[in-house]
């Protein structure tokens, strides 16, 4: 077993860390306060190859693996989970096209991503989050294609997207086997995007509702076979969950650093907080969970890069990193005490940003269902 990163991986990690210090950290507080995504950060990240990292070189991308994506993601989300998530989640829209797209679809849409376009993965609906089979959006067969009606909610980067990978029922009675995937350009007649939704945390990462009102989708905009949408979505999640787990790893590392720095400086009862056993044990546990989350995440990414099935490892990494992140953020608040409740310190933002990690990209409950199924 080799735990050392290669020289190239260390260089990529350092590049992402330096970018975070220079471009993300100075903007994080203001972006959160205004609930805006700083476009200039995205443009700078594209120029450095820190966005869409897994796009193949033949399509204009960096051609990196999932482990390199995880290293980049961890570094970016250390600076701000909102900005980092918005930058990295583009990979989610790319994956189904990489898996099931035709040569023409890949050449057209993935090259646009490589050139700096943003896109959205549109699966979740008001009545269908964890229950993907409950999707109500309907794609009905018409001459030359489909007519798509329905709506999506909590769609990341929807107001910035140039196109969507959207899922809809082509067979309303087909349960999981009735779902199909489509590529929808943002300017399609009948496709509208609502205003960004107000959120507790990750405010710099815009999410919105998307509405389909009789949107015509040509046959050549379907991804893969009709009825293969559910299987495609599950393949995407195996590839994207290590990245989302890295969201949590980056946040835990930030909690660790902020808590340790505060515990060294803040004195109570005549000595630094760090020298009180109650605080020292919290920090020790935080380091334990950080390392466990990181190793699980790197393992899930490594297996994918080496052509090995990673469904179990991806779910373990995602659920552990998410649960550890909200735990670490809660402990950070406690270590900071009253100052943790103040918006002048980073603890409250880390706390707000962490919670949704247990909800999106498959809830912690769903991940445990997957783990249990894999054990059966």
Q: Which residues are catalytic?
A: 361
Q: What is the sign, positive or negative, of the torsion defined by CA atoms of 268, 251, 205, 24?
A: positive
d(CA 37, CA 160): 10
d(CA 331, CA 278): 11
d(CA 147, CA 145): 7
Give the H/E segment covering residue 215: strand 207-218
Nearest to 76 by CA among 96, 108, 106, 53: 53
**What does 51-70 look like in DSSP terms, one character per residue?**
SSTTS-GGGTS----HHHHH
End-to-end CA distance of the chain: 27
Residue 139 sits at φ, ψ, to 5 deg, of: -115, 105
**What are the respective helix, strand and coil percentages of the chain, to the nearest 5?**
60, 15, 25
Residue 197 sits at φ, ψ, to 5 deg, of: -75, 145
d(CA 129, CA 127): 7
CA angle 106/111/113 to nearest 5° reads 105
d(CA 296, CA 145): 43
């Amino acid at each position: 077993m080799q735990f050392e990163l290669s020289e190239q991986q260390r260089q990529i990690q350092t590049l992402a860390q330096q970018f975070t210090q220079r471009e993300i950290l100075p903007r994080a507080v203001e972006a959160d306060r205004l609930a805006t995504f700083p476009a200039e950060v995205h443009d700078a990240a594209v120029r450095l190859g820190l966005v869409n990292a897994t796009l193949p070189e033949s399509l204009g991308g960096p051609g990196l693996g999932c482990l390199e994506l995880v290293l980049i993601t961890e570094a970016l989300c250390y600076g701000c989970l909102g900005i980092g998530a918005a930058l990295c989640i583009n990979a989610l829209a790319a994956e189904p096209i990489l898996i099931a797209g035709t040569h023409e679809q890949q050449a057209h849409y993935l090259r646009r991503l490589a050139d700096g376009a943003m896109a959205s993965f549109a699966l979740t609906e008001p009545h269908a989050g964890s229950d993907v089979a409950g999707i109500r959006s309907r794609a009905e067969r018409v001459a030359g294609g489909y007519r798509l009606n329905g709506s999506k909610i909590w769609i990341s980067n929807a107001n910035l997207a140039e196109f969507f990978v959207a899922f809809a029922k082509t067979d309303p009675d087909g349960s999981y086997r009735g779902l199909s995937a489509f590529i929808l350009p943002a300017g399609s007649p009948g496709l509208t995007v609502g205003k960004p939704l107000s959120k507790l945390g990750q405010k710099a990462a815009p999410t919105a509702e998307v509405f389909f009102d009789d949107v015509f989708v040509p046959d050549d905009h379907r991804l893969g076979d009709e009825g293969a949408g559910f299987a495609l979505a599950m393949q995407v999640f195996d590839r994207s969950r290590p990245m989302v787990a890295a969201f949590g790893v980056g946040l835990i590392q930030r909690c660790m650093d902020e808590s340790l720095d505060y515990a060294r400086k803040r004195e109570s009862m005549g000595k630094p907080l760090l020298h009180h056993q109650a605080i020292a044990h919290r920090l020790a546990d935080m380091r334990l969970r950080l390392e466990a989350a990181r190793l699980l995440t790197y393992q899930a990414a490594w297996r994918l890069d080496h052509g090995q099935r990673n469904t179990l490892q991806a779910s373990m990494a995602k659920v552990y990193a998410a649960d550890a992140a909200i735990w670490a953020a809660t402990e950070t608040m406690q270590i900071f005490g009253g100052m943790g409740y103040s918006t002048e310190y980073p603890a409250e933002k880390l706390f707000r940003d962490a919670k949704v990690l247990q909800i999106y990209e498959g809830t912690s409950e769903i991940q445990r269902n997957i783990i249990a199924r894999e054990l059966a």
